[in-house]
A and B are shown apart, each in its own frame.
Chain A
Amino acid sequence: MQIVNSSSPQAPSRERTRAVTAEELRAMYEQMVLIRTFEEHAEEQYTRARIGGYLHLSIGEEATVVGALFATGPEDYILSSYRDHGVALVRCGDPAATMAELFGKETGLAHGRGGSMHLLCPARHFLGGWGIVGGHLPIAVGVAMALDYQQRPGAVLCLLGDGAVNIGTFHESLNLAALFHLPVVFLIVNNQYAMGTPVAMASAEPELYKRACAYRMPGERVDGMDVLAVLEATHRFLTLAREERQPGLLECVAYRFRGHSVADPGRAYRSQEELEQWRQRDPIPRFEAELRRRGLLDDTMVQQIAARAEQQVREAIAAAAAAPDPPLTSLYQHVYGPAAREQFARMGPGAPYGEAEALQRLTGES
């Protein structure tokens, strides 16, 4: 697939470029390496059954995740699909708590209640990985609505997969965002497959960014394997959203080197040739070469970065393995807020077997 950067007529001007420092460039590279290392280890831990449920890896998509997130500021909010490890690693800056969540531990980002798909760190404005395809788009619109309502600075970056563009919330959310001039950027991580269905078999208009025109919204497609292209475009779209209350649709064309989840070998629906072709464009070696060319990386630094990522992830795994499980007495915690204790206190008579004890936990003193 040939990726040609293209945009709708309303796309934000390319004059709004963003200066990137050498430190930032190296930091971006480090984060991409960290995500790759983290996910390769997570994959292994999954096969060893230390991680359960679904495990969706973004290996191959690191440039899109890192480029997009490096364009955000501390005041911006981020919501993501369930393919969210990279988002959490970059935004929350806590590989140990991220791994602990995958391990289902109390020390995890969601205290072991969410797992791989539901990472978050609200203090740093990452409001979650969400598990229903397209379900978080309206919620992102609402976060933007709240920013607007409270006249706060910042915008919302909503990451979604190419599979999310054909569910009703996509249309409804883009319409609401444009109708009410809300500061939100919908960023499609087009990894080319919704599970095993290629974009062209699911979308009548496979150039997904073109859908923006239905909402008089700027739309643009960039090479999602090029971290600087993603950074630059996301920066322009976020600036437009923040400063002019103009939402946008940015499509980043990347490639998922792994299957849909670890349970999917990812072979049945695509050819080895295709995979090999895309491997040639692996975003990490590509960015590494670019930074070497600019004199910002050398062999020693590359080795150091790789070793540091490896060490961080190994420490995260060791900490996660040693961390406590959530206590069984906390099973009913967080279904509701504290007011529920009194509200549910009268529900006891005739409750189903075992539920009276549950109500005690909900309404008890602990």
Chain B
Amino acid sequence: MAEMTYREALRTALREELARDERVFLLGEEIGRFEGSYKVTAGLLKEFGPRRVRDMPISEESFVGAAIGAAMLGLRPVVEIMTINFALVAMDQIINHAAKVRYMFGGEVHVPLVIRTPGGAGSQLTAQHSQSLEVWFASTPGLKVVAPATPADAKGLLKAAIRDDDPVFFLENLVLYNVRGEVPDGDYTTPIGVARVAREGTDLTIVAHSYTVVRALAVAERLAREGISVEVIDLRSLRPLDMETVAASVRKTKRALCAEEGWPTFGVTAELAARIQRACFDYLDAPVERVGGAEVPMPYAKPLEQAALASEDKIERAARAVLAESGLLSVGRGR
């Protein structure tokens, strides 16, 4: 075990996979000479050279497409898209091409491709650079979507994604890059499609992914001081979605709050709530609650941005509302 940041864990995974498998190569904007817009790929150009670490011009649509073509010939490209917002420029390649190839061509070809990109908000980056759009990808058959919340899972899931034979959309998070955690040494993978119980509890389940897991854990800690026991489920994968872990937790706690950084309408939490009510109908002591970012384009002004985020305070208020509805807390307490 070594303690490192989420960023370093990603870099370790990339370095180990580049060393392990000649078919793996990286491509993206500013990943080589500039060492990565968020420094995830720092040092890799020097270590592996320009054949394996390829700087691309600002042409997301075509370098994502190029990665698809290279993957069809058996290579294992790992694309970095600087932020998830720019993935929209490449949407046709991701949705109409990468996700379709295996099926549309009757299983004759496939696309072992990884697209890494950070989402999230909170640094006054404003409307065009602060989005959480992972649900767009998670709703598309043919793609897998993973969203690690810890450095250990960042390394393990990135390795699993690179070794997977299908296109994997790998969601990172701008705020998580500096988060530190224990990371196992050496080679390991975190299985795709298996959620993690990030904190055990008995009174309420909070289901989250990516950076929202960190917020949910902080909320659990706050409520623990009042003797309320919150279980936090870190989804880790959005597609496939590990509903067995979620349902087992909600059947135990009898209360569910689904939290996400993105917009809840048609969001990850909408999908979760629908599945939880179906899977846990007879167990629920309160309606499934959802909380997410305010449904506005992200504003610039700091107080407005804070108000728009799915902050710890907002998640805590939502948690208290669920607990109050089922009689575990009196209404209004702690507000």
Contacts and interface: CB of A to CB of B under 8 A. Distances in A.
Interface string A330-362: 000111111110111111111110000000000
Interface string A97-128: 00000000000111111100010111000011
B244 A349 contact: yes
B243 A138 contact: no
Interface stretch (B101-109, B127-135, B173-181, B208-216): B101-109
Contact of A147 (B73, B103, B237): B73
Given A346-B243, A346-B245, A149 B75 contact: yes
A350 B242 CA distance: 11
Contact of A146 (B51, B70, B109, B279): B70
B279 A350 contact: yes
Interface stretch (B189-197, B304-312, B315-323): B189-197
Greatest chain B CB density within 10 A among A127, A145, A340, A352 is at A145
A113 B62 CA distance: 26
Contact of A349 (B25, B56, B102, B247): B247
Nearest to A138: B65
B59 A172 contact: yes
A142 interface: yes
Contacts of A131: 96
Contact of B68 (A138, A149, A334): A138
Interface in A184-205: none
A112 to B, nearest CB: 7
A346 B142 CA distance: 17
Given A336-B142, A346-B240, A143 B69 contact: yes
A337 B105 contact: no
B270 to A, nearest CB: 13
Contacts of A147: 73
Interface in B158-177: 164-166
Contacts of A127: 69, 72, 109
B67 interface: yes
B61 interface: yes
A346 to B, nearest CB: 4
B218 interface: no
Contacts of B2: none
Interface in B77-94: 77, 92-93
Contact of A334 (B106, B193, B240, B243): B106
A147 B21 CA distance: 17
Interface of B: 25, 51, 56-57, 59, 61-75, 77, 92-93, 96-97, 102-110, 141-142, 144, 164-166, 191-195, 237, 240-247, 274-280
Interface of A: 77, 108-114, 118, 120-122, 127-128, 130-132, 135-147, 149-150, 168-169, 172-173, 175-176, 179, 333-340, 342-352
Q: 6 tightest CB-CB pairs across the interface, nearest first?
A: A142-B69, A138-B65, A350-B279, A111-B106, A350-B275, A142-B66
